[in-house]
Amino acid sequence: MQLMKRIYKNFPLHFASYEQDSNLVLHFINFKKINIKEITLEFFGKQVTYPINSSETKITLTLDEDINYIPKLFSVTADKVYYLKDYSEYDVITSPKAIYSLGPEKELYRRELKKKFNYNNVRCIYEDCGQYWHCVCGHTNFSVTDTCEVCGKEKQKLAEVHPSYASQAATRHQENQLLSLFLAFYLTIYLIDIFVQMFTGDFLYTNYDKNTFFAVMNRFIVPILIIVVVSLKMIFNNKHIKIVTDILKIAFLVLVLYLNLLPIISFIGTAYNLKFLWALDILLAILVIRSIFTVERKVYNYSLLGIIVIFFFMSFFLYGVYKDYKITIHPEGVSLVVQEEGNQKKYEIPEELNNMKIFSVIFQHDKEYEMEELIISNNADIVGFSSTATFKNLENLEVKENNKVYYAADNILYKDGKIILVPLAITEVTLNSEVVNARAFYNHYNLKTVNIGENVKTIERNAFTNATSLENMNFATNSSLKTIQEYAFKNTSIREIEIPISVESIEIGILEGCNALESYKAPFIGKKRENHDRFFSSSDIFTYHFGSVHHNQPDKIPQSLKYVEVYDIDRIHNTTFYNAWYVETIVLPEELLYMGRTSFYGCRSLKEFTVPNGVPEIKEECFRNCYSLKTIVIPASVTKIEKNAFLNCEELTSVIYLGDIVNLTVDPIGNQNLIDLLN
């Protein structure tokens, strides 16, 4: 059926439409229901009159002729003849408007229609134009009927576009504009925050615990949920589904509240999110204030603004409280660097900081803390410090009973059986654990006496380094000590020391800087006992114990050292006591079987010496430049004295040979003074 869109004003009959079936069928509307006698149509300039005699509203005329041409209405005969040419004014039937043409308010219109009809055939806006009306199915009906000719919908049941729809839609549109603005800025600050965390490190604290579910949820899941919630709210705003938008509002409020609660609950643990949170709060505050004045003054907006303002300042306050803490976040908890303690006499390591377990406490190497009493918490697994001198006034140590790592005994702090900290107030200590660990008494400048018990097997490197007041180092008579590691007694004030016979290894420099040392007794010289005569692999040089691997560094040996005794070796090698300038007495074991070349070369303070019984010969330059040597006792076992063995021994006045001079061969080169004394 084809609609004719012109309705001529005041003309009694309206040519409404036509349709081509087997014949051409014309439809007329008799708006005034007058009696229509005849209708005259014009075909190609020729008029044909058809009798009607009907006062019906709808008049149908079927043309019997085989006509494919749409005729024009020429005239209508009622009580008089009405010629169409005399009625030039007409109205044009407008096309029905699609629902989509409405814009944002279309969803409100759709919802109203969905309450009454099957929505499948609802496509257009209902409009009543006086002489005709548009049904929601898109068909144009004339006002002569209140039922749509196509879909059968009743005119009085159809909803019109209410004026309030436009205002509601405008409000939602403004909300969506704000939300889209929020999303744009939100995504920007979120991506910047992620970039900063990925490439420039953390904001306040180094955090190695950001891959837990809790951290990932706060850094990724919750921010992405905010994006999803805001996007969905925009979608459902357009659909004007209030219950869903209200739920999404609440969800958004909860997410924002959650993010703002994080720093309040665990500021330190979530500080990596702080910049993002502040930027989000500022952005939200600006947009919520704008929303209050441009959209609606809702309790929701005021509540959201209140949450933002309150928690923003709370997190900012916490930032002021914790920003100067030097901490690192680990999966185990917080590692805390202790700052200034002022005049605090007692310091107890806290169990927690801002609801996070403190498992590690570091005291800075460049500070001296004032505390007199230190209490180790139950949670502390690591207590770090550079030396005992870090706690210059420390007198008492205490470890909480539930600490599984540390314990205190005799006011000494232990970990895994090793000494960790000895208060400076202690001047004498007795040790009996298997290991005296590295740096156990480092910088302990008040310690004077150390008693090493029979169970100690190892003294580790730097164990007593810089214990400048240490004078007495006593070892148990039945000591089981095996190893003394490098620089164990460096820079101490030890006067006398006797290394137990049980010792098998002595590392370099154990007595370096011991400038008060007067007497030194050791089972061997060098790193270990070397029972061979090969010089090239020998390490038994006296300077090794004082920090040198080269025999010709006499300045390493303290000037105070006068007496040296070695009591458990059967040989000494080349250059063992080379240039031990200040040593006056050297005693070797009776079991000695060999003395190497230049063994005592340059021992300029050596006054007398007894060669052990069992040495077969005195090697070349063995006592050369021993300027103060006055007396030497040579056993009968010596049968040969090589050249220059006593070169420059000008003070030698007494040579006692215990054997038959006939059996002794002396090289005259550099030994003439000796020969003269022997004869």
CATH of the domain at 628: 3.80.10.10
Please indicate, yes or no, whether residues 171 and 148 belong to a single structural domain of this protein: no
Residue 626, burial from CB neighbour count under 10 angstroms (0-12, 13-18, 19+): buried
Check whether residue 259 and residue 278 sit in a common domain: yes
What pTM, to 2 d.p., does this model score?
0.60
Q: What mean pLDDT do residues 236-251 have?
A: 85
Report yes or no on 432 lying in a domain.
Answer: no
660: pLDDT strictly greater than 60? yes
- If one compares 554 and 494, the residue with the highest pLDDT of the two is 494
Residue whose C-alpha is closest to residue 262's, from 304, 222, 321, 206: 222
Q: Which residue matches tokens 């692999």? A: 537
> CA separation (Å) from 461 to 264, 487, 508, 523?
47, 6, 10, 20
Q: Confirm whether 632 is domain-assigned.
A: yes
Secondary element (H or E) of residue 506: strand 505-506
Is 196 domain-assigned?
Answer: yes
Q: Is residue 585 part of a domain?
A: yes
pLDDT at 324 over 70: yes
What is the strand order of the sheet 418-421 is part of? 406-409, 412-415, 418-421
Judge whether residue 21 has pLDDT over 80: no
Q: Which amino acid is at 57?
A: T
Does residue 410 lie within any of the structural domains?
no
Residue 457 lies in a domain: no
For 115, counting Cβ atoms within 10 Å of its Cβ (0-12 exposed, 13-18 middle, 19+ buried), the class is exposed
Mean pLDDT, the chain, whole residue set: 89
539 and 627 in a common domain: yes
Residue-level pLDDT at 650: 93
Number of domains in the chain: 4
Residues 106 and 150 in one domain: yes
Q: What is the SS3 assignment for 191? A: helix
Are the CB atoms for 391 and 446 separated by under 8 Å?
no
Which of the four pLDDT bands, split at 50, 70 and 90, describes residue 340? low
Which range has the top average pLDDT, 127-141, 172-186, 306-320, 512-526? Answer: 512-526
Give me 83's structure tokens: 């010629």
Kindly tell me if the per-residue pLDDT of 300 is higher than 90. Answer: no
Cβ neighbours, 10 Å, residue 96: 19
Among 120, 138, 161, which residue terminates a domain? 161
| Amino acid 512: pLDDT | 97
273 and 147 co-located in one domain:
no
- 123 is a domain residue: yes
The answer to whether residues 151 and 182 belong to one domain is no
Q: Are residues 536 and 672 in the same domain?
A: yes
Which residues fall within 8 angstroms of residue 82, CB to CB, at 6 or more apart?
Answer: 11, 12, 13, 75, 76
Q: Are residues 268 and 307 in the same domain?
A: yes
Q: Please give the distance of CA 638 from its chain centroid, rounded to a whole number.
A: 74
Structural domain harbouring 600: 532-679
Boundary residue ending a domain (142, 161, 180): 161
User: Do 206 and 82 belong together in one domain?
Assistant: no
- Pair 169, 315 in one domain: yes
Classify residue 601: in a domain, yes or no. yes
Q: Are residues 157 and 188 in the same domain?
A: no
Three state DSSP letters for 602-628:
CCCCCCEEECCCCCCEECCCCCCCCCC
Same domain, 79 and 116: no
Determine the pLDDT at residue 421.
87
Give yes or no for residue 494 having a pLDDT over 80: yes
